[in-house]
Chains A and B, each alone.
Chain A
Amino acid sequence: MIDFHTHTPAWETATWLGGAAFGADEFVAFMDGAGIERAVVLSHDGLFDPTPESNDQLAEFVHKYPDRLIGFGTVAVRRKSAVQEAERMVGELGLRGLKLHPWLQGFSMHERGLDPICEVIAGAGGVLLVHDGTPPYSTAGQIAALARRHPKLPVILGHGGLHDLWRESLAMTQETENLYLCLCGTPPYAARRILAEAPPHKVIFGTDAGLSEQASQDYAVARVKEIDGWGITAAQRRAMLIDNPRRLLDRT
């Protein structure tokens, strides 16, 4: 299976998410224990302080296991250097996509400064993953509006709308061709309905691993195990965990 939503430790930032210190070896050991073959890894520091250094450290982390770990970097979208950093990310650093967290990073998806950044990612064959499920800056409708401006860029709703906006996330995924949905922290009943009603090729899964106080990432292991109780078909499970994420990653 492919876990499309995980994080490095926060090496430089004191964050309220906390988290344990761990290295790439320990992270891959967690993946092995949970049955995860490949993982998309996002910066933790970059959520709070999206510096070039956070991308450097992410790249160093994922490059230790290039066959297992895929890095998506981030940028400070309002800085003049954002486009240049996006180019460096997907060029020199070999990162495969961009992660944005509009409410933590403090911007709106409608800001036109995002457009040249998205063009860089799309031009490199990359993917954009955006935190969703949280007003005022991280709703699926807002993210879909950006996706419509960049129809060649696959845009992923990082949390499937979480608890209160999952119906909006489902609807936007249905009506926006290049919008995909990652079930990550989405409650099981919502995940079941999303899998039943979303275009079958557009739903993927993530654990949000990396934020635990334990290097063993116990909650992420539990989230993988919990899928057994979702009441979904074998075909849905395979598409979500294997075929759909592989198609997104292997296009890059």
Chain B
Amino acid sequence: MIIDAHCRIGDGREVELKPAELIATMDALGIDRAVVAPGERCTAYDNREGNELTAVAAAESGGRLLAYAVANPWRGRAAIDELDRALDAGAVALAVDSTLQGFDLLDGLLDPLLDFATDAGWFVYVRTGTPPTALPLPLATLARRRPELPVIMGKSGATDFWIDAVPALLHAPNLYGDTAYAPWDTVLTGFQNEPGIGAERLIFATDAPYTVPVAEVDRIRDWPLDADRKAAVFGGNLARLLAHQ
């Protein structure tokens, strides 16, 4: 089973992905299920529109699509209310983008949302990279504060903060690496071979529509990893997180 842990549907600044287009791509690539977040504007600002978009897409997908909930933490109590509505509508996880949403991972704003996610049995996807408010190691510190909450390190710090991904994964046992953009022969093998990390801490995502999805799938298919570990990366690990709910 292949589960894509992160896509965005709807409109972005430079991209667009309709649910039907995503499902067609999944069919072509052998991806069974995908967890979808709304696009950039709805992640940053119009959370309600975004959560309704992903809820409808999930409900109409026959189980192929699962919805992330989004809420800008600057909205305070209203953000929690929004997550509550998304949970009722079937959301299975929380997606966070501190760069788009304009906060620091360690400033405390996100804490109530993480508490909500913990109580709901969700996992959390947090996008990381070069921005100083989206670095892997502060995310690891944040993740350690809630050891029961699984946190996916979206993009694993791509690209120049891939170097911080291993120490981040070692620092927080509940942190998971994301395969998107990461070559197996320079990055993923380093994660896999590191004692204390291994394939059970890696989760496949295409990050569509920012990528070429077939390239993301082929990268894992081409990785000379034994079948059990590859199955874990491709979907087993995420299925375990989803079953946790």
Contact = CB atoms under 8 A, between A and B. Distances in A.
A163 B186 contact: no
Given A164-B129, A164-B130, A187 B186 contact: no
Contacts of A134: 130, 160
Of the four ranges (under 10, 10 to 19, 20 to 34, 35 or more), the interface on chain B belongs to 20 to 34
B181 interface: yes
Nearest to B15: A189
Interface in B111-168: 129-132, 155, 158-160, 163
Q: Which of B130, B160, B219 has the most CB of A within 10 A?
A: B160
A238 to B, nearest CB: 19
Contacts of A165: 130
B108 interface: no
A147 B99 CA distance: 29
A16 B222 contact: no
A16 B163 contact: yes
B159 A229 contact: no
B130 A219 contact: no
A238 B189 CA distance: 34
Interface in A146-196: 159, 162-165, 185, 187-190, 192-193
Nearest to A159: B159
B184 A189 contact: no
Contact of A218 (B15, B183, B209): B183
A213 B184 CA distance: 9
Given A187-B210, A189-B210, A218 B130 contact: no
B160 A229 contact: no
A189 B130 contact: no
Contacts of A228: 212
Interface residues of A, number: 33
B184 A226 contact: no
Contacts of B213: 229
B211 interface: yes
B210 A188 contact: yes
Contact of B130 (A135, A211, A217, A225): A135
A158 B65 CA distance: 38
A163 B130 contact: yes
Nearest to A218: B185
Nearest to A187: B210
Nearest to B180: A187
B78 interface: no
Nearest to B189: A213
Nearest to A104: B160
Interface string A212-239: 1110011100100110111000000000
B215 A214 contact: no
Given A187-B181, A211-B186, A226-B215, 9 more contacts: A103-B160, A162-B158, A163-B130, A164-B99, A187-B210, A213-B189, A214-B185, A222-B222, A229-B214
Interface of A: 16-19, 103, 133-135, 159, 162-165, 185, 187-190, 192-193, 211-214, 217-219, 222, 225-226, 228-230
Interface of B: 14-15, 99, 129-132, 155, 158-160, 163, 181, 183-186, 189-190, 209-215, 218-219, 222
14 contacts: A16-B163, A17-B186, A134-B160, A135-B132, A159-B159, A162-B160, A187-B211, A188-B215, A190-B14, A212-B185, A219-B185, A219-B186, A222-B183, A229-B214
Top-6 shortest CB links A-B: A229-B212, A219-B183, A164-B130, A226-B215, A212-B185, A189-B210
